[in-house]
Amino acid sequence: MDVEFQLLDCDYILVDGVVVRLFGRTKEGESVCAFFRGYDPYFYAQHKDNIEEIKGFLVKKFGKLVKKVDIVERFRPIGYTQTKTKMLKIFLTDPSQTPLVRDELLKASLVQEIFEADILFKYRFMADHGIYGMRWLKVTGTPARTDTVNTNIKINAEKFEQAEDQLPNLRYMSVDIETLSEMEDIPNPKNDKIIMVAINFHPHFDGKKSIVLIAKRYKNVNSAIAAFRTEKEMLEEFAKIVDTYDPDVITGYNLNDFDMPFLLTRMAENKISRVIGRCNQKASFSRKIGLRHRNDICGRVVVDVYELIRESIGKGLLRLKRYGLGDVSKALLQEGKLDVSYKDIPKYWEDDGVNFEKLIEYSRKDSELALRLLLEKNMLDKFIEISKVCGLLLQDVLEGGEAQRVENLLLREFNSHGYVIPLKPSDKEIMRRIDERESKGLKGALVLDPVTGLHTACVVYLDFKSMYPSIFIAYNICPTTLTTKADDNIKTPLGTEFVSKSTKLGVMPKIVDDLIKERDGIKGQMFKASGDERRLLEAKQLALKYMTNSFYGYTGYVRARMYLLDVANAITACGRDIIQRAKHVVEDSKKYTVVYGDTDSIMVKIDTMDLDQAFSTGKEIEKTINGHFKGTIEMKIENVFKTLLIMGKKRYAGTSYEKSNGEWKEKIVMKGIETVRRDWCNLTSDTLLKVLEIVLGEQKPKKALEYMREIVKKLEKNEIPVEELVITKGMSKALKEYKGTQPHIELVKKMRKRSAGTAPSLGDRIGFIIIRGTQILSERAEDPDYAKQHGMKVDSKYYIENQILPPLERVFEAMGISKEEIFGGGKQRMLSDILKGVNTKPTVDSLNAVDGMVCSKCDRSYRRPPLTGKCNCGGELLFFSGDQRSKQFTPLKH
């Protein structure tokens, strides 16, 4: 029989030997488990002149665990050589014992070196059989009779072949739980019960889009609500649903760190079997790695949408201040959560009427939103394609790092070229690498000194297409081509030498070249494709780009198997050399100036305001540079900036124009300028954006400065609505777990004393403003409503000095507007005076109460003087109280 399916998971069991299991789903929607026997784990050991001694040792020490020992020839991984080395290939009967055998051999000092003794068995198998995660596989075999798995199709595999890629047909199940906590604390699965489990399905399950399971009697049950007498019965039903629906992907929001570990623990506490995977014998489990949880469900993939959102934000693909499900779904789906506060849950749970129904719908909605985010935003596409490219299973792509992805690819290619790969470095080796980096240094990319300021003539942005991958190929850079001895070497600018391609093509350059070619092919296909097909091709080409660009970082990563400082340094040295040469080529023309360059791009100022003219000049520059590099590396014009403000290295903003279908498309580009920071109030972000709009759009810095001064004036006069000044921070743990003082935490303590029932609780984001007073900053955080009701005044100085001025000063200074000009007038005058146009603040003889100390030059305030005794600007310090200043303070006696 033949079965074609998309591979989701792979593991092994021991039943009279090793049995590999591959799990997936067919195009028709049937779940599959393919069993394969006859494949044994193995690793390599480079012996001394003592093969028989090693064989004897293995037999004596491990008996039947060692199946056989072959003598083979392989290339060692580091350094160019034409000769293979004799090695022992040691086969075992149990993969889990590989580390033991390896360690004993090393301890007995019987071998020179060991290779590949720490490759996960599933990946050993997949690499040797050309099997990749999430790819379509054709398995030929005979039906298997077994109850050990609960898939629709069970097959004893005899042969594997790669099948044509198809659209996935996966089943998704989204889970959200509600719990009841005894204490006002993080719910504890040892003591606190689950009261609800909300599940959403895609595709529908038994005609149902969703179901909510509740652990109490309820009169209004229907097909979408199921009630149970106890938590235990509810969880048993949950397990049954998973088994029946048989999802490929289980998802949720913060599923990994909360819902899943909680569910599994409660199942254990209720003595319910945790076998919710596709194997009927393996219990699912949750393990803590560092601060995060990892959840293992055999045959299924666990996807946490919250982690995907954080990853997108981290990569700059999404700009959001808050990461809660409500905020994210509002921003991306234009629909938020239902309005039920965490602290109302116990009250609503006890209700039997409208409030209880609200709670049910609230839970259902949470589950629905997580699933919609995953599916409507196609959040898994990229990871599925990365899995297909690098070969890792989807779960490992989601959980693992970049190095693991690259190494899986390297394992396959190195093996196919007769190479072995090294073990992961030991802690001692990692320390040695760190020390080596310290002493030799890992020189990074070249960032040219920018010409800071506001450029109002056109600036063309050119970048090298896939610079680092191209360097790998052009210089044949690879651990396997590193040499000092051959004749026709390629020498990099740093002096490191690699053999030429004609002598030996390096494995890494080959991989990179294949990836680039494949990506070019995919891009070509995209022109003709549309809809889902185009979407998947786009994801694929991004995955290929991502993998291609991962190789450089990998070579410089101290925990990488193939870490070689010389290789990493060689690559960046080539990159630096290329950028320098490109700059010289441009400036040798004496017509243009390079105003900035970073790693693989340069910005060239053209003396024109006309976009078309700038673009055509850019094309000429592109041709000249490419001519210089003779095809080894290619530069391309990306866009034209009509206005560009460069504030420093890696910090610029401009109005960018890109040509698309003969038309110019405009957008504002900002790099290194944080317009979305969670600890800024809206006033800061809005003011910064507005200032940049004026500067870039109208090219009027003075107007932008006036605008900022207006805002500062309004702040001083308390004319800014309090809502614009609210800073938000989350409370992610119980109060007592916070060390030190933080404004939002001090505020929560205050609010609890005022009214414990309405105060924020765990998981809430707390909005606060800073009010005036003599206490330390954290004690002056106040609830905006409370402040308004009690007529408390906002500390406008704090907002001016800590929120508005820092980001905006940098913008204006980059335009050549000095601090004096921003602050106005001579040294003695203070900012607020300039803004108000009044004279120096009144100085009195003595104050008998003070708010703190203030700089006489720049008006910056301090709770206590800096250790230097002066303000950061060098100004002298005075005491202040409200508007008054003095050089004398006479505290009143109590």
Residues lying near other proteins in the complex (CB under 8 A) are found at 434, 438, 736, 738-742, 776, 846, 850, 852-853, 863-869, 876-879, 887-891, 893-894
Task: At 384, list the tokens.
Answer: 């599925």
Distance separating alpha carbons of residues 779 and 750, to the nearest angstrom: 9
Task: At 204, list the tokens.
Answer: 């529908």
Task: At 156, list the tokens.
Answer: 């004893």
Output the smallest distance, CB 577 to other proteins, in A.
Answer: 23
Cis status, amide bond into 760, omega within 30 of 0: no
Output the smallest distance, CB 878 to other proteins, in A.
Answer: 6
Q: Which is nearer to other proteins, 328 or 878 (CB)?
A: 878
Sign of the Cα pseudo-torsion (584, 585, 587, 593, in order): negative
Output the smallest distance, CB 845 to other proteins, in A.
Answer: 10
Burial code of 120-157, b = ≥16 C-beta within 10 A, e = fewer? bbbbbbbbebebbbbbbbebebeebeeebbbbebbbbb
The single-letter code of the amino acid at 756 is: A
Q: Which is nearer to other proteins, 426 or 868 (CB)?
A: 868
Output the smallest distance, CB 97 to other proteins, in A.
Answer: 34
Pairing mode of beta strands 249-252, 301-304: parallel
Q: Which is nearer to other proteins, 540 or 860 (CB)?
A: 860
Distance separating alpha carbons of residues 53 and 733, to the nearest angstrom: 58
Q: Which is nearer to other proteins, 705 or 871 (CB)?
A: 871
**Residue 30: closest CA among 188, 154, 187, 190:** 154
CB count in 10 Å sphere of residue 261? 19
Distance separating alpha carbons of residues 759 and 785, to the nearest angstrom: 12
Residue 83 three-state SS: coil
Question: C-alpha distances in angstroms, 380 versus 374, 403, 537?
Answer: 7, 20, 14
Q: Which is nearer to other proteins, 608 or 742 (CB)?
A: 742
Q: Which is nearer to other proteins, 695 or 850 (CB)?
A: 850
Q: Which is nearer to other proteins, 226 or 751 (CB)?
A: 751
Pairing mode of beta strands 489-491, 651-660: unpaired
Output the smallest distance, CB 443 to other proteins, in A.
Answer: 13
Output the smallest distance, CB 783 to other proteins, in A.
Answer: 20
Q: Which is nearer to other proteins, 39 or 738 (CB)?
A: 738
Output the smallest distance, CB 866 to other proteins, in A.
Answer: 7
Q: Which is nearer to other proteins, 96 or 846 (CB)?
A: 846
Output the smallest distance, CB 286 to other proteins, in A.
Answer: 21
CB count in 10 Å sphere of residue 184? 15
Element of type H or E holding 822: helix 819-823
Q: Where are the alpha helices (DSSP H) in 635-700?
A: 682-693
Count, residues in the chain: 894
Q: Which is nearer to other proteins, 299 or 743 (CB)?
A: 743
DSSP letters, 733-761, are S-GGG--S--HHHHHHHHHHHH-TTTS--
Output the smallest distance, CB 776 to other proteins, in A.
Answer: 6
Output the smallest distance, CB 26 to other proteins, in A.
Answer: 46
Output the smallest distance, CB 856 to other proteins, in A.
Answer: 10
Element of type H or E holding 7: strand 2-14
End-to-end C-alpha distance for the chain, whole angstroms: 95
Q: Which is nearer to other proteins, 143 or 866 (CB)?
A: 866
